[in-house]
Amino acid sequence: MKGMWLRQILSVLRLELKKTALSKRGWWVYILALMPVVLTLLHWLFELRRSHGHHSLGDDSVVFAGIFLFFYLRGAIFFGCMGIFSNLFRGEMLEKTLHYYYLTPMRRELLVAGKYLSGLSVAMVVFVGSTAASFLMIGRHFGAAWTDYLVHGPGLGQLGSYMLVAALACVGYGAVFLMCGLLFKNPMIPAAVVFVWENLNPFLPTLLKKISVIFYLKSLCPVEVPVPPPFSVMVIDADPTPAWIAVPGLLAVSAIVLVYAAICARQSEISYGE
């Protein structure tokens, strides 16, 4: 029985990978992921043409931390996962093709698992790959000093942390937006609510900070981004969550959301006329 379930999940995964990766609706996701890569590439080429640098390797490290926090986590990965995962079911409803899956002798929980894994595969390749490429290029103009920073310094450890955080962001936001695509006719409305809540996180009381994905992801980032005034006055400091709690916690919450999405899929009925 378990072998048959695994084969069904893999079959859905293969079908959905083609649709998700080559979807005409998803072209803007690739543009989002390419933007920081192009930016860091231009930074590398521009600095190579300058005879004297006006910043240090440490400055580039802090700049990348800012790019990762404010562009990747609060923007690109959030909206990218919204575009990828919310369309896994809602897109099929709009195209009136979801019933083909529902007519097959397959448990709907397995359909949710296959679709989620397909979206997660695409999101991880796009955003984890973009994170790695951007990090490796931002300090490349330092030459041997950058290589030494990567090999003998904290560079590779920081790269691994950023890639882990990007992957966890895809896992967490992917589960949330797949559920939104199942429950809501217009996933943009709950996505807007989640977006506002996540971006208000620095200004919330300590207890409320912990009811968000971004708080735990930020705790795992290897370099802290300084908050400039006047925002520094409004930010409420909270002790970061240790990695041994943050990582399993995010995975557990994502699993709970997926289980709930599977229950909703099992009880859902198709009505294309709505």
> Which of 180, 166, 93 lies closest to 127 in space, CA to CA?
166
Instruction: Evaluate whether residue 231 is within a structural domain.
Output: yes
Q: Report the share of the chain in percent with pLDDT over 70.
A: 90
Residue 212: give the domain boundaries. Answer: 2-267
pLDDT digits (tens, 9 = 90+) for 17-71: 888 777 777 788 999 999 999 999 998 888 777 755 567 788 888 899 999 998 9
> Which of 115, 108, 118, 107 lies closest to 89 in space, CA to CA?
115
Total H helices, total E strands in the chain: 14, 0
Q: How many domains does the chain have?
A: 1
Here the tokens at position 7 are 């084969």
**Residue 28 and residue 83 in contact, taking contact as beta carbons nearer than 8 Å:** yes
Element of type H or E holding 135: helix 108-138
Here the tokens at position 121 are 């595969």
**What average pLDDT does this structure show over 219-247?**
70
Dist. CA 129–CA 134, nearest whole Å: 9
Peptide bond into 105 cis (omega under 30): no
pLDDT digits (tens, 9 = 90+) for 117-137: 999 999 999 999 999 999 999
Instruction: Evaluate whether residue 12 is within a structural domain.
Output: yes
Instruction: Evaluate whether residue 272 is within a structural domain.
Output: no
Question: Alpha helix (H) ranges present in 184-242?
Answer: 188-199, 206-209, 213-220, 231-234
Instruction: Evaluate whether residue 235 is within a structural domain.
Output: yes
